Amino acid sequence: MADRYRVRLAPRNEGVEYADDHDVYRFNAQLVDGVWNVRLPPAKGRLSEFTDAERRVVLPRIRNFLSRTWWFGVFPRSYGVNFVEDEPIRDDSPFSTAYHIGFTRAKDGVDYRDDYNSYRFALQREGRVWTVRLPPLRGHPLTESQLSDEERQRILPRIREYLRRGRSFGVFPKSYEVNFLDVK
């Protein structure tokens, strides 16, 4: 792992981002009663496993960053930091597979990964309405390709639910409308 790295809070303190010369890791994080709860595994720039070697380097750096935060650059505050392992999300549908969903770095897209493939959907938000552009980019390297009917039934409801439940300042629930725009 590289010696040059950056750790920062994501916009609206909804997560923490770690970036080095090799990759970018985005962790969902929530501050509750003076303790940061950081969810593992992270959403990464490349969709692959979060290895033990990466954990030994990345997690202590994130712990150091979050444990002593300066608000407004002036007021220091100490926090506890917990790393919480999330089980892969599973549902009880006939298409039950483990999957992971996360925003892209610029929040102009959403990455979806399951047992079958990885996908990147372009996003646009106006007010409280998310518009998801279809078809998505798929695979490595990312190329545009249509979704099959089975993929639509498996993936699109999960993306709708992920985008529908928003958070303001990482705490207060918000609700969004989600539309799918099929561009052919």
139 vs 122 pLDDT, higher one: 122
- The reported pLDDT for the residue numbered 72 is 67
**Among residues 93, 120, 94, 95, which one has the least CA distance to residue 109?**
120
- The reported pLDDT for the residue numbered 94 is 44
pLDDT of 132 > 90? The answer is yes
- The reported pLDDT for the residue numbered 13 is 61
Q: Which two tokens stand for residue 10?
A: 């994501």
- The reported pLDDT for the residue numbered 134 is 92
- The reported pLDDT for the residue numbered 59 is 93
pLDDT of 123 > 80? The answer is yes
pLDDT digits 0-9 by tens, 57-105: 999 999 999 888 777 667 788 888 988 886 555 545 545 567 788 888 7
- Cβ distance 22 to 4 under 8 Å? no
- The reported pLDDT for the residue numbered 1 is 47
Domain boundaries, the chain: 5-85, 99-182
- The reported pLDDT for the residue numbered 14 is 67
Question: Which residues fall within 8 angstroms of residue 40, CB to CB, at 6 or more apart?
Answer: 27, 50, 83, 84, 85, 86
- Number of helices (H) and strands (E) in the chain: give both, helices first: 2, 16
- The reported pLDDT for the residue numbered 5 is 92
pLDDT digits 0-9 by tens, 9-64: 876 666 888 888 878 888 888 887 888 888 887 865 555 577 888 889 999 999 99
- Cβ distance 88 to 99 under 8 Å? yes
pLDDT of 139 > 80? The answer is no
